[in-house]
Amino acid sequence: MDLEPVFSLTTSTWVTHIWWSSWGNHSATGTGNFRGNLGNGTFSLGHGTVRLSHPRKFVEIDGYSYPYFTHALLIGVNGSVNNWVFHTRCDCWTR
């Protein structure tokens, strides 16, 4: 499966240069650079980890089934001091 190197979280938040270290039927984990845009330019939110979980259903593409995840856990570091964690519901899958 060809996984995308950019993972969109919202229309104004995304992860670039993402490397998926694992991708299975129950969860997926990747690391990359979190970016954002609030209308006044793009800014860095730091390096972090994305963990997708709680697949609700599967999507069939080219005869293969891929999980459709409903939860995302985001763990990031912005500089050496500011750590952050964000847990949200999502409709996530990537091919």
Average pLDDT, the chain: 77
- Model pLDDT for residues 21-39, shown as the tens digit of each residue: 998 889 999 898 888 777 7
What pTM, to 2 d.p., does this model score? 0.72
- What separation, in Å, do the N-terminal and C-terminal C-alpha atoms of the chain show? 6
Q: How far apart are CA 4 and CA 32, in angstroms?
A: 12
Task: Indicate if the pLDDT at residue 16 is higher than 70.
Answer: yes
26: left (phi over 0), alpha (psi -120 to 50) or beta: alpha
Q: How far apart are CA 70 and CA 41, in angstroms?
A: 29
Q: Which of 27-31, 75-79, 89-93 bottoms out in mean pLDDT, i.e. has the lowest? A: 89-93
